[in-house]
């Protein structure tokens, strides 16, 4: 008999820790090789941790809802192999269940290691880089971050320090999408002092007599005030800061509490608790609408030649490559070409700075069988041929639907495409995938009568037509740029080379 130490495996470059959701095996249970031992969750995806060996589980070293660092010993398995030692072994990469999207946004969780505050990272001497990486040391008076997502580790630290949700909502975050990181919370705790539950003076809420600046005053983030009924506004005696977003408070639940099942209300309606993925999607969508002033431009494109070309080559392509060619990789190629023509679409915003992206990484919205959505990313799509894009699209789509995506598969997107036409919709007004500034919705291709120009004059013919809908962030993308970009995408689709081979 030998004891095998099972380690929490690495799940991606940006993932340093995970939360234990559920133990699938109890001490004394026999485990087959590659059988799932536990379920874990990160900010990117949910995963199952398989055992690389067969044997009996004799010890669980982590509890459910506990945050564990990658590489830590999580269980001890007794195997039948003779001569084996107790050297810790890392489990194979876990099979993953996709997490939110939208957050096709990269967020690195720093290690929980105390470091001298005097040490500063060395950065390249680039103009303005200090502002890009500048951390906000104190919150803006009156700003709250209600309904913001907090990672399990942040919640754990807050519970240990006696910090409630209302106090957490007062702390600004420097992570992706404004999330509160461990460093933000630790810095706040250090400034606040040893008194639990009392925020420091620099984190104090606005006083009742505080004068509110006009909405026209420049602020770092777009202002948003939750709409209120006229009667309620008339009775309001205290001014509401224009930069504060107030959302309905939800009753807090203790960490690790079981999710309530569907409950019947008044004998007819049901209350169904959102699953973790749906909560993150909802948060990401609301955050995007509060961050970016959305504008959508529409263009109708005649893709008759493109449809005829695909119809002609699709059977031979499938026979040769063993997989199908859909319209999605064709749309992606057209978008990549248009981004090269208009690179200011391939940007993100950091305060008052515009970050122009070098790589063109196309995020591809994918519906899951559960009804949720995930957005895997085709990295450096500008360096791929149409064949390469096709294989990447099929691979990511298959792994997404089979819960095989890794955390790195949903990171670093710079532009998003969503195919609303797959559900029969002809157009849409998609929500921007933060921190990107634009998203393209491609509608269903329909046969319609259209006016075409011929050598003998105009004529009406049956053509394959579709709508392209581009939503963009009006803070940095004006109507001229947005309109020219979507028109350029349509141009590439309409002028498809029918003699092209794959």
Q: Are the beta carbons of 93 and 9 closer than 8 angstroms?
A: yes
Cα dist. 364→235, 329, 330, 331 in Å? Answer: 47, 10, 13, 11
User: Are 484 and 343 spatial neighbours (Cβ–Cβ below 8 Å)?
Assistant: no
Q: Rounded to whole angstroms, how far apart are CA atoms 346 and 336?
A: 10
Residues 6+ apart with CB under 8 A from 312: none
Which residue out of 473, 478, 491, 497 is catalytically annotated? 478
Quick check: bond before 435 cis, omega within 30?
yes
- Which of 290, 294, 464, 474 is catalytic? The answer is 474
Quick one: CA torsion of 49, 53, 55, 56, rounded to 10 degrees? -20
- Using the structure block, give the residue that is written with the tokens 């620099």: 202
Write phi, then psi, for 410 (nearest 5 degrees): -120, 20
Cβ-defined contacts of 457-463 (< 8 Å, 24+): 463/302, 463/304
Q: Which pairs from 246-249 meet CB under 8 Å and 24+ separation?
A: 246/144, 246/146, 247/146, 247/147, 247/286, 249/146
At 294, list the tokens: 């959305």
Active site residue 478: yes
Contacts of 475 (CB under 8 A, 6+ apart): 222, 292, 293, 349, 437
Contact present, 393 and 401 (Cβ < 8 Å): no
Residue at token pair 């999710």 = 259
Helix (H) / strand (E) containing 396: helix 386-401
Q: How far apart are CA 166 and CA 203, in angstroms?
A: 12
Residues annotated catalytic, as ranges = 474, 478
């Amino acid at each position: 008999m030998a004891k095998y130490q099972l380690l929490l495996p690495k799940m991606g470059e940006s993932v340093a820790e995970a939360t234990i959701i559920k133990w699938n095996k109890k001490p004394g249970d026999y485990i087959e090789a590659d059988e799932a031992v536990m379920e874990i969750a990160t900010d990117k995806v949910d995963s199952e941790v398989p055992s690389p060996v067969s044997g009996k589980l004799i010890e669980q070293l982590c509890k459910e809802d506990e945050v564990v660092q990658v590489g830590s010993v999580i269980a001890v398995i007794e195997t039948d192999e003779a001569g084996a030692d107790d050297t810790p072994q890392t489990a194979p990469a876990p099979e993953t269940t996709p997490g939110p999207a939208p957050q096709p946004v990269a967020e690195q969780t720093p290690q929980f290691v105390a470091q001298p505050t005097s040490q500063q990272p060395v950065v390249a001497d680039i103009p303005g880089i200090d502002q890009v990486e500048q951390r906000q040391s104190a919150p803006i008076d009156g700003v709250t971050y209600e309904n913001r997502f907090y990672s399990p580790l942040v919640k754990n630290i807050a519970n240990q320090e006696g910090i409630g949700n209302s106090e957490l909502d007062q702390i600004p975050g420097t992570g992706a999408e404004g999330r509160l990181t461990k460093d933000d919370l630790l810095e706040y705790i250090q400034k606040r002092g040893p008194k639990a539950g009392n925020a420091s003076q620099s984190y104090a809420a606005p006083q009742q007599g505080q004068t509110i600046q006009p909405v026209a005053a420049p602020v770092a983030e777009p202002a948003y005030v939750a709409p209120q009924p006229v009667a309620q506004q008339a009775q309001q005696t205290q001014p509401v800061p224009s930069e504060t977003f107030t959302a309905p408070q939800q009753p807090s639940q203790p960490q690790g509490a079981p999710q309530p099942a569907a409950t019947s209300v008044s004998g007819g309606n049901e209350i169904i608790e959102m699953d973790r993925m749906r909560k993150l999607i909802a948060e990401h969508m609301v955050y995007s609408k509060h961050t970016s002033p959305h504008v959508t431009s529409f263009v109708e494109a005649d893709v008759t030649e493109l449809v005829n070309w695909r119809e002609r080559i699709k059977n031979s392509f499938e026979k040769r490559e063993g997989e199908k060619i859909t319209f999605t990789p064709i749309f992606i190629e057209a978008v990549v070409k248009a981004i090269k023509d208009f690179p200011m679409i391939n940007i993100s915003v950091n305060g008052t700075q515009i970050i122009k992206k070098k790589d063109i990484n196309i995020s591809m919205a994918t519906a899951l069988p559960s009804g949720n959505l995930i957005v895997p990313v085709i990295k450096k799509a500008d360096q791929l041929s149409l064949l390469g894009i096709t294989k990447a699209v099929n691979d990511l789509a298959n792994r997404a639907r089979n819960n095989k995506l890794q955390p790195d598969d949903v990171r670093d997107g710079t532009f998003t495409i969503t195919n609303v036409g797959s559900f029969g919709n002809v157009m849409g007004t998609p929500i921007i995938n933060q921190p990107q500034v634009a998203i393209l919705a491609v509608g269903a291709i329909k046969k319609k009568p259209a006016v075409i120009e011929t050598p003998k004059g105009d004529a009406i013919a049956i053509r394959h037509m579709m709508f392209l809908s581009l939503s963009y962030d009006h803070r940095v993308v004006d109507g001229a740029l947005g309109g020219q970009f979507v028109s350029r995408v349509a141009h590439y689709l309409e002028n498809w080379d029918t003699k092209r081979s794959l």
